[in-house]
């Protein structure tokens, strides 16, 4: 009998994961034999996250010292939309512009709110006398804005780790994948994506606890940061459509109602304040063409290299939406036809990964989206590290490619188009590999490390009656 992860005994990662078990031999052996941690998982995980935060801050030191202008930010790997938008969207003079206009700010309402609050805080701290304080001065307001944004994101990162730890149930150490994630270390300071990722993790935790409305509320909150948390409703719907999960259609309706209610509460006031400003995110999503590092951008580069012009924005939108719809249909068939009910987070991972592969743009910080889903859906350290290695290869490749476009450096100081395309194909291939692993786990539940950790063998006196009773008790929870 395969039970819910939260029902099984706690699992030591150094005993369960092959890579960690091998590495633990250099540090006292697997936990429970010679190595016996004295601190709770939460304490250790928070400590690891603080270490990750410090490492992340160090990766941006060049830009903190020299500013975020010029091509050198790409060579240093510390480019940030946050600092760029502070000047480009005139947040220093109009901090509430992302919400009330009349300027342009192409983000959903909660991301706009975070950006506006931090801009107002920056203006307040520098409005006293304009003198330098703790390294900040009026002529370097963007530094203070980035520092405040990074500090807020660091707190959210700590919350994310705790939420993933709780959602992992008997496998709390899987949250270490999030705590020391190289993808988050390098990606958290680029944009505000960590906020949406944490909202989605909270929705997953609420679903695990059978708080259907609360899960929906957090989905609505997440969608007000970024679009992708909406895909969790699709994963829930697939499970509801199965007859062997113990979930009625009311579960989906409750989650949908919670998501709609929270989204309306957050978005209607923004519509009333300035519908034009509120709608800019949706207009950009429809009208934009091929963005960097998407398959459509690669198509465009190859076409231009052969003397063509590449696909039009309308063509890209049609292909992107059509292929994503086809991928979702495939995930639906997989979820319905699998012999054993998939775990919700496995389906969610597949949907989000498919979206990232087929979307019109793949910004470097998008790699943050999958980290908690990897920790919950496919917690294999070797695969997680290999995937992040390809993501960091792409991270540097796109910056070096952009440095060659905007700068006047010698060719040896940037990546040519061929290397950039290879890096993009590498990160796509690594994501497809992870998706294949999750599909195999769905088709063969015995290879799923989460289900395997929750396996409880039946005792010698257990007969058909007790087995049926156990199946009834766990039927509605084992797939979460």
Number of domains in the chain: 1
Give 29-84 pLDDT, tens digit per residue: 555 544 455 668 899 999 999 999 999 999 999 999 998 888 889 999 999 999 99
Give 409-440 pLDDT, tens digit per residue: 666 666 788 999 999 999 999 999 999 999 99
The stretch 22-27 carries a mean pLDDT of: 50
The stretch 127-144 carries a mean pLDDT of: 66
Which residue range(s) make up the domain with 173? 5-474
Q: Please indicate, yes or no, if residue 393 is contained in any of the structural domains.
A: yes
Give 316-342 pLDDT, tens digit per residue: 999 999 999 999 999 999 999 999 999
Q: Please indicate, yes or no, if residue 479 is contained in any of the structural domains.
A: no
Strand pairing partners for 31? Answer: 35
Q: Please indicate, yes or no, if residue 480 is contained in any of the structural domains.
A: no
Contacts of 202 (CB under 8 A, 6+ apart): 163, 218, 221
Q: What is the mean pLDDT of the chain?
A: 86
The stretch 374-379 carries a mean pLDDT of: 96
Query: What integer pLDDT is reported at residue 244 of this predicted model?
Result: 87
Please state the separation of Cα 102 from the chain's center in Å: 31
- pTM summary value: 0.89
Whether residue 398 contacts residue 211, with contact meaning beta carbons closer than 8 Å, is answered with no
Give 183-207 pLDDT, tens digit per residue: 999 999 999 999 999 999 999 999 9
Please check the confidence at residue 2 and state whether its pLDDT lies above 70: no
Give 353-376 pLDDT, tens digit per residue: 999 999 999 999 999 999 999 999
Q: Please indicate, yes or no, if residue 280 is contained in any of the structural domains.
A: yes
Q: Please indicate, yes or no, if residue 291 is contained in any of the structural domains.
A: yes
The three-state secondary structure class of 136 is: strand
Query: What integer pLDDT is reported at residue 454 of this predicted model?
Result: 65
Q: Please indicate, yes or no, if residue 111 is contained in any of the structural domains.
A: yes
Please check the confidence at residue 474 and state whether its pLDDT lies above 50: no
Is residue 236 exposed (0-12), middle (13-18) or buried (19+ Cβ within 10 Å)? buried
Please check the confidence at residue 455 and state whether its pLDDT lies above 80: no
Please check the confidence at residue 7 and state whether its pLDDT lies above 50: no
Backbone dihedral angles phi then psi of residue 35, each to the nearest 5 degrees: -90, 125
Q: Please indicate, yes or no, if residue 224 is contained in any of the structural domains.
A: yes
Contacts of 203 (CB under 8 A, 6+ apart): 215, 216, 218, 219, 222, 229, 232
Query: What integer pLDDT is reported at residue 279 of this predicted model?
Result: 93
Q: Please indicate, yes or no, if residue 368 is contained in any of the structural domains.
A: yes
């Amino acid at each position: 009998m395969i039970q819910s992860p939260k029902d099984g005994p706690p699992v030591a990662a150094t005993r369960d994961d092959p890579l960690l078990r091998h590495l633990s031999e250099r540090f006292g052996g697997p936990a429970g034999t010679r190595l016996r941690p004295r601190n709770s998982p939460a304490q250790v995980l928070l400590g690891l996250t603080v270490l990750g935060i410090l490492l992340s801050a160090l990766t941006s030191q060049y830009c903190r010292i020299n500013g975020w202008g010029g091509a050198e930010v790409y060579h240093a790997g510390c480019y940030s939309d946050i600092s760029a938008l502070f000047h480009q969207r005139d947040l220093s003079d109009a901090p509430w512009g992302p919400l009330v206009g009349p300027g342009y700010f192409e983000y959903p309402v909660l991301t706009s709110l975070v950006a506006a609050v931090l801009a107002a805080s920056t203006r307040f701290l520098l409005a006293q006398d304009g003198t330098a304080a703790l390294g900040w001065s009026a002529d370097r307001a963007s530094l203070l804005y980035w520092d405040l944004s990074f500090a807020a994101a660091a707190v959210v990162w700590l919350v994310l780790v705790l939420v993933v730890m709780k959602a992992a149930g008997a496998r709390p150490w899987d949250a270490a994948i999030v705590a020391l994630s190289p993808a988050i270390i390098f990606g958290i300071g680029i944009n505000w994506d960590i906020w949406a990722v944490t909202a989605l993790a909270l929705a997953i935790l609420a679903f695990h606890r059978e708080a259907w409305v609360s899960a929906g509320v957090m989905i609505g909150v997440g969608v007000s940061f970024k679009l992708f948390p909406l895909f969790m409703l699709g994963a829930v719907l697939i499970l509801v459509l199965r007859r062997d999960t113990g979930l009625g259609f009311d579960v989906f309706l409750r989650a949908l109602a919670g998501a709609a209610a929270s989204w309306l509460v957050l978005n209607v006031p923004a519509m009333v304040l300035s519908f034009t400003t509120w709608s800019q995110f949706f207009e950009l999503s429809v009208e934009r063409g091929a963005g960097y590092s998407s398959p459509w951008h690669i198509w465009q580069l190859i076409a231009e290299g052969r003397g063509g012009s590449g696909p039009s924005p309308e063509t890209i939108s049609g292909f992107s939406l059509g292929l994503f719809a086809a991928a979702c249909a495939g995930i639906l068939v997989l979820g319905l036809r699998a012999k054993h009910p998939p775990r919700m987070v496995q389906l969610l991972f597949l949907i989000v990964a498919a979206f990232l592969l087929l979307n019109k743009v793949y910004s470097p910080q998008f790699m943050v989206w999958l980290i908690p889903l990897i920790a919950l859906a496919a917690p294999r350290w070797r695969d997680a590290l290999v995937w992040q290695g390809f993501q960091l290869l792409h991270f540097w490749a796109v910056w070096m490619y952009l440095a060659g476009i905007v700068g006047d450096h010698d060719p040896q100081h940037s990546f040519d188009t061929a290397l950039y395309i290879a890096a993009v194909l590498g990160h796509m291939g690594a994501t497809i590999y992870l998706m294949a692993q999750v599909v195999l786990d769905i088709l063969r539940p015995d290879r799923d490390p989460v289900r395997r950790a929750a396996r409880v063998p039946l005792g010698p006196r257990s007969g058909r009656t007790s087995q049926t009773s156990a199946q009834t008790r766990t039927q509605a929870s084992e797939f979460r």
